[in-house]
Structure 1
Amino acid sequence: MTQRILDPQQIESLDPSAIPRIRLPERFAFFSTRAVRLRHLADHNPIGGYVRLMAALVDAQQEALEHCSASMPSREAIANAQHHCMPILPALSGERDPQWRAVLLRLADHVEAAGAVAPALANVLAELRAMDEAQLDAQADAVLAQRYAEVAPATAPFIMAALQVVWTDLASRIDERDIPYVDAPGVCPVCGSPPVASIVRIGGAYQGYRYVQCGLCGTEAHVVRVKCTNCDSTKGIAYHGIEGGNAALKAESCDECQTYRKIGYQEKDLDFEPLADDLASLTLDLLMSDAGYRRASPNPLLWPDVPGDR
């Protein structure tokens, strides 16, 4: 069967109300699907060992998600978010369900039990377990605000993974009708976090439409194609790929803000997963850096040493 992909002009001409605005994460397999993709992408990958480690961490996320039930926002909080066009579960509010710390320890235990732990990883897990509640919350604040200098690149992915579990749990239980329209470009309408990458989907109501996937809660929001997902510009948009590489994966650059995010096309690779494919395509990041572009936001599972890095 031939799948029809709509071009940007066709999408712009459609009634916006006919396009599904949001795709909420499906909790029963959200992380497990990502873990499978990571293991597939780890083969013949220059950072294959790290990708496999993250696959084990993502497996642990799925297990933790099955036992997670964070406190949902009140109707008053939802109404306030709608009135002010703000995210319904703002990550930067300074408030979060305290069970995220228990999730973090659960993830560490799962990764440790999954196989042989190298000394460097053992030190990272020990460092996380040694932190008290105040230290952990300070690290979570820094990770969510992308204050790079305050977070060790080795511990940040584990902290972010625990936060992802809690916010994905919440996002998977939200009534889509309660989610406000948020004016700021590049902001998740559920949690206010930046997207990690985008995907042009196939099948059903999502056929041919592009969605950006939030790096924290996993919510996907519709964005018209050939538009910068960072600054909303439609000028100076270009697409870059690796010759002989995965034809489904491109880097979408913007000359207005000099940033890029990756974009995947399900018509060329049905199993494309935004976070996993972004993480496993370091060569494309190096190409974009050499071309003078910077990442619009880091991959949640590969923290940069300094701003502007991966």
Structure 2
Amino acid sequence: MVQRILEAAKIESLDPSAIPRLRMPERGTVFAARAARLLQLAEASNPIAGYLRLMAALADAQQRILSTSTALMPARESIERNQQHSMPIVPALTDERDPAWRDVLFMLLDIIEAAGALTPPLAQLVARLRTTDAATLDTQADAIIALRFAEIDPAAAPFIVAALQVVWTDLATRIAVSDVPYLDAPGVCPLCGSMPVASIVRVGGTHDGYRYVQCGLCSTEWHVVRAKCSNCDSTKGIAYHAMGTPTDDETEEQRAARAKQAALKAESCDECGTYRKIGYQDKAYDFEPYADDLASLTLDLLMGDAGFRRASPHPWLWPEHVDEA
């Protein structure tokens, strides 16, 4: 079924009190805020603090490149065709990917290398990426975007993803909300078609009190009502789980009260058997979905023990073996 696409003027004439369906990334701060949050989380006795600091440096490099980059916009005809068919207007999985993404990758490696203090394994990885041919890099990019886990190099993937993120976030910052169509398929980014990482209940302005899921590639956020699973759109069997060690005498009511006060939770769905993390900005104002998802591996372990699987992997943390079920 193809949905009717409203013209820009029609969208702008709608009730201004309506829930904003999209929140586009802010070009001047998107990666800088992520880097700052990663450093903040690394200081909180995090078991992967060293990795968070490295990823903070990578996010900082992304911001530096984004401030001067200009990704190649798709042809207007391509955007209009995707709008007409209720498809993401700048899909990440495409044969027309701007080859400049590989230049961004090498710039990221230059900045990380110039920062110094590379561990021997990281130095070897940087050297390997520099000598990888363009076709192999493109094949890796395709595998990552399509979630073909068996083909992904888990060590190289975060850096390849980081380069792609700069390109697609650049595009997202230059596209008007009124140009982004409504999609028939739930759970994917309406701009690039990628999977979200985590969600956030925001405070302030027109977004106050509303839940948005954040795209793992272009950082676009789209509104999803809290009563629905952000993966399968079901309203049945939704539950929330928080970190913390329950006591033997803790009642179900006490457990629920403890979870209610948590700034970060895992939202599980019995219908699809998955979970996705959700943060509450009124409890942790600096919460950043991408950073906080990466830094909360303990919650992932808790959810795995409870029999749930991630709705989508974190783009900067690829395990050697992933259950694709």
TM (norm. structure 1) is: 0.92
Please state whether the residue corresponding to 2:93 is helix, strand or coil. helix
Letter in 1 for 2:316: L
Separation in 2 of the partners of 1:218 and 1:139?
A: 21
How many Å apart are 1:281 and its aligned residue? Answer: 0.3
1:3 corresponds to which residue? none
* Residue 265 to residue 217, structure 1, CA distance change in 2 (3 Å): same
Letter in 2 for 1:242: M
Structure 1 segment 270-289 matched on structure 2, within 5 A: 270-289=285-304
- The reply on whether 1:97 has 2:125 as its aligned counterpart is no
How many Å apart are 1:16 and its aligned residue? Answer: 10
Separation in 2 of the partners of 1:23 and 1:74?
A: 23
Match of 2:277 among 233, 238, 262: 262
2:249 corresponds to which residue? none
2:82 corresponds to which residue? 81
Deviations 1:150-174 (A, max 9, x none): 1211100000000000000000000
Letter in 2 for 1:117: L
Letter in 2 for 1:73: P
Is the Cα contact below 8 Å between 1:148 and 1:304 reproduced in 2?
no
Separation in 2 of the partners of 1:250 and 1:94?
A: 38
Number of corresponding residues: 295
1:58 corresponds to which residue? 59
How many Å apart are 1:17 and its aligned residue? Answer: 7.3
Structure 1 segment 98-117 matched on structure 2, within 5 A: 98-117=99-118
Deviations 1:62-94 (A, max 9, x none): 011112111112222222111100000111123
2:166 corresponds to which residue? 165
Structure 1 segment 125-136 matched on structure 2, within 5 A: 125-136=126-137
Separation in 1 of the partners of 2:322 and 2:232?
A: 18
How many Å apart are 1:289 and its aligned residue? Answer: 0.3
Please state whether the residue corresponding to 1:79 is helix, strand or coil. helix
Letter in 2 for 1:219: T
Is the Cα contact below 8 Å between 1:38 and 1:276 reproduced in 2?
yes
1:42 corresponds to which residue? 42
Higher alpha-carbon Rg: 2
How many Å apart are 1:95 and its aligned residue? Answer: 2.1
How many Å apart are 1:115 and its aligned residue? Answer: 2.6
What is the aligned-residue RMSD (CA, Å)?
1.5
Structure 1 segment 165-244 matched on structure 2, within 5 A: 165-243=166-244
Is the Cα contact below 8 Å between 1:227 and 1:237 reproduced in 2?
yes
Separation in 2 of the partners of 1:124 and 1:171?
A: 30
Separation in 1 of the partners of 2:69 and 2:151?
A: 28
- The reply on whether 1:21 has 2:21 as its aligned counterpart is yes
Please state whether the residue corresponding to 1:19 is helix, strand or coil. coil
Is the Cα contact below 8 Å between 1:181 and 1:189 reproduced in 2?
yes
Is the Cα contact below 8 Å between 1:94 and 1:141 reproduced in 2?
no
- The reply on whether 1:148 has 2:149 as its aligned counterpart is yes
Following TM superposition, the consecutive aligned residue runs of length 4 or more in structure 1 with deviations greater than 6 angstroms are none
Separation in 1 of the partners of 2:180 and 2:137?
A: 29
Is the Cα contact below 8 Å between 2:140 and 2:153 reproduced in 1?
no
- The reply on whether 1:300 has 2:301 as its aligned counterpart is no
Separation in 2 of the partners of 1:16 and 1:292?
A: 42
Separation in 1 of the partners of 2:133 and 2:195?
A: 28
Separation in 2 of the partners of 1:306 and 1:193?
A: 21
Separation in 1 of the partners of 2:294 and 2:213?
A: 15
Please state whether the residue corresponding to 2:167 is helix, strand or coil. helix
Separation in 1 of the partners of 2:264 and 2:149?
A: 27
Is the Cα contact below 8 Å between 2:214 and 2:222 reproduced in 1?
yes
1:32 corresponds to which residue? 32
Letter in 1 for 2:185: A
Deviations 1:20-70 (A, max 9, x none): 010000010110110000000012000111111100111110011112111
How many Å apart are 1:119 and its aligned residue? Answer: 0.4
Please state whether the residue corresponding to 2:315 is helix, strand or coil. coil
How many Å apart are 1:123 and its aligned residue? Answer: 1.1
Is the Cα contact below 8 Å between 2:186 and 2:232 reproduced in 1?
yes
2:248 corresponds to which residue? none
Separation in 2 of the partners of 1:186 and 1:307?
A: 20
Percentage of identical aligned residues: 68
Please state whether the residue corresponding to 2:214 is helix, strand or coil. strand
Unaligned stretches of 5+ residues in structure 1: 1-14
Of stretches 207-216 and 138-147 in structure 1, the one that deviates more from structure 2 is: 138-147
Separation in 2 of the partners of 1:239 and 1:200?
A: 14
